[in-house]
Amino acid sequence: MQTTTESPALAETAAGRPARRPQTQAVLEVLSKTRISPRLLRLTLGGEGYAALNRNEHTDAYVKLLIADPAAGLHPPYDMDALREQSPELMPARRTYTVRRWDDEHQRLDIDVVLHGDGTDNGVAARWADEAQPGERIAMSGAGGGYTPQPETRRHLIIGDHAAVPAIAAALESMDPGAVGTVLIQLDSEEDRLTLEHPAGVELHWLIGERQLLVDRVAALELSDHEGLQVFCHVERGITKLLRRVLVKEARIPREQISISAYWALGRIEDQFQAEKREPVGRIDD
């Protein structure tokens, strides 16, 4: 079987709270791996489980990978309810990745994983991706997403860092050839710059160095004309907070014209990052 759902849950827990809604798991195989820059690794995943994913047309579509510790001896799909109740220490880690490209004809997709080092220097997902071999199986859920460049947009403003490159690349490829706008992408290293297809009227700028460069460059833009402007802004949490202040409070761009959230947080693994979204530290508005 290539797909499963978690064990049926009761309508309410013993404490009277609504039970977790079971999520469909899609199990795909690693088909190939390609290092597209020194710190960006592309995995092509496919198989019959592809049909179980909630395929959508958003350019920021994402899936959540379920990555078990190899020492646990678990194999996908996972009975998450049973693990949560009986062996919580064996629960697979859940990590979110943008779908770089869907291939419906061949039932496969690409995801691009940022690598931060070698071996233990990488996080659990990057380490898994770096070590995964063709034929290895991986469970995932999704896809989610919410942003797509609108054809009626007069001007695009796209802001991101290395983690947002897959979503930005997909967005640029989906734009009308006559689209106009500005793209600002921050990278730590010049050698990770990529050649991205984009409309001639869209200016693409790579900012190499500190993440603060994004804030400074956005603050210097002329943003007084909001008509027909569509903004995509997804970077590290601390920088996202600063950028939101520039875009919403200072430039006064209407909130409904902006897709903005933090893709990650400095010094946090995803479990902590997601949990903190419900706390004051995790909010990007102030």
Interval 150-200: pLDDT, tens:
999 999 999 999 999 999 999 999 999 999 999 999 999 999 999 999 999
pLDDT at 226 over 70: yes
Query: Are 132 and 122 spatial neighbours (Cβ–Cβ below 8 Å)?
Result: no
Question: Mind listing the pLDDT tens digit for each residue in 92-131?
Answer: 999 999 999 999 999 999 999 999 765 444 689 999 999 9
- Top-confidence residue, 281 or 97: 97
Q: What is the pLDDT of residues 53-101, one digit of tens each?
A: 999 999 999 999 999 999 999 999 999 999 999 999 999 999 999 999 9
Q: What is the mean pLDDT of the chain?
A: 87
The predicted pLDDT at position 39 comes to 93
Q: Which residues contact 233 (CB under 8 A, 6 or more apart)?
A: 157, 158, 159, 160, 240, 243, 244, 247, 258, 259, 260
pLDDT at 16: 46
Which pLDDT band, with edges at 50, 70 and 90, does 3 fall under? very low
Q: Where does residue 118 rank: exposed (0-12), middle (13-18), buried (19+ CB within 10 A)? A: exposed
d(CA 141, CA 29): 14
CB-based contacts of 251-259 (< 8 A; 24+ apart in sequence):
251/223, 251/224, 251/226, 252/226, 253/223, 253/226, 253/229, 254/226, 257/226, 257/229, 257/230, 257/231, 258/231, 258/233, 259/60, 259/146, 259/147, 259/231, 259/232, 259/233, 259/234
DSSP string, 36-50: EETTEEEEEEESGGG
Which residues are within 8 A (CB) of 115 and not within 5 positions of it... i.e. 6 or more apart? 39, 40, 41, 122, 126, 129, 130
Q: Among 197-201, 268-272, 276-280, which is the least confidently predicted range?
A: 276-280
CB atoms inside a 10 Å sphere around CB 166: 26
Per-residue pLDDT, averaged over 40-61, amounts to 96
Looking at the DSSP assignment, which residues form a beta bridge with residue 137? 29
Q: How confident is the model at residue 263 (pLDDT cuts 50, 70, 90)?
A: confident
Most confident of 7-11, 204-208, 267-271: 204-208
What is the C-alpha to C-alpha distance for residues 77 and 86, in angstroms, rounded to an integer? 17
CB 243 within 8 A of CB 218: yes
Closest CA to 149 of 54, 60, 19, 237: 60
Antiparallel, parallel or unpaired: β 24-37 and 137-144? antiparallel
Contact yes or no for 53/140 (Cβ under 8 A): yes
User: With pLDDT > 90 as the criterion, what percentage of the chain qualifies?
Assistant: 78
Could you give the residue ranges of the DSSP H alpha helices within the chain?
80-86, 124-131, 165-174, 212-219, 237-244, 270-276
**At residue 271, what are phi and psi to the nearest 5 degrees?**
-55, -45
Lookup: tokens for 210: 């500190």
Give the count of beta carbons closer than 10 Å to the beta carbon of residue 163: 19
Confidence of residue 286 (pLDDT cuts 50, 70, 90): low
Rounded to a whole number of angstroms, the CA Rg of the chain reads 20
The per-residue pLDDT for 21 is: 55
Question: CB atoms < 10 A from the CB of 222, how many?
Answer: 6
Comparing C-alpha atoms, which of 230, 120, 121 is closest to residue 176? Answer: 230
Q: For residue 26, is pLDDT > 60?
A: yes
